[in-house]
Amino acid sequence: MKLAVCPGSFDPVTNGHLDIIRRAAKLADRVLVVVMTNAIKNPLFSMEERMEMLRRVTADLPNVEVDAFDGLLADYTRQVGADAIVKGLRATSDFEYEFQMALTNRQLGATAETVFLTTSAEMMFLSSSLVKQVAAYNGDISEFVPAEVLDLVIQKMKG
C-alpha cells in the first residue's frame, strides 16, 4: 500500500504504539502518524508534546511522518488520500470498540480501509492509561515507553 495512517491519542506514545508504527512502516511506502482528539479522553500531554514524543521515537524511520488533526479521522484520510488506517488490536476487549470505529469511519465517508495488526504478545497488556497510572505512583515504566520519551513522561507525571 502507498499511504497508511496510524491514528491515536498517543497520550503518551507506548512501546505498543511504536511496535504497530514500525510494522506499518514495513507494509506501506509512507506512514502518517496522526495525533487526534478522542472526545472521551482528557489528555495529559498537549498536542505539540505528543507530536514531539512521536517525532523522537520515529526519527529512525525515514518513511514515517508525524501530523496532528483536530477533526474526524474520515475527513483526514480523504484529505491526505490514505489507502489504509492501521491500528493495533491487543485483545478481544479492543475488538468491539475498534470494530465500531472502523464501521463509523466508513459510514462517515472514509475511503481508506481499516487494517488491524495483532499486537506483539509482550505488548498485549500495554496502554497509555496504564503507563500513566504506574508513573503516577513512581512505578517503573521503562519497559513500557520508548527510552527517548521516558524522562519526559516521568517529569510530566511529577507535575
> Look-up: residue for cell 498536542?
47
Q: SS3 for 8? A: strand
**Order of strands, sheet of 3-8, starting from the edge strand that comes earlier in the sequence:** 64-69, 30-36, 3-8, 84-89, 113-118
State yes or no: is 41 an active-site residue.
yes
Q: Which is nearer to ligand PNS, 40 or 121 (CB)?
A: 40
State yes or no: is 128 an active-site residue.
yes
Q: How far apart are CA 130 and CA 135, in angstroms?
A: 9
Catalytic choice (90, 106, 132, 156): 90
**88 burial via Cβ count (<10 Å: 0-12, 13-18, 19+):** buried
State yes or no: is 156 an active-site residue.
no
Catalytic choice (41, 46, 129, 142): 41
Note the maximum CA span of the chain.
Answer: 44
Least distance (Å) from ligand PNS to the CB of residue 144?
15
Q: Which is nearer to ligand PNS, 53 or 73 (CB)?
A: 73
Least distance (Å) from ligand PNS to the CB of residue 157?
19
The residues of the shown chain that bind ligand PNS, judged by CB under 6 A, are 7-9, 36-38, 41, 72-73, 101, 104-105
Least distance (Å) from ligand PNS to the CB of residue 12?
11
State yes or no: is 9 an active-site residue.
no
Which of the residues are catalytic?
A: 17, 41, 90, 128
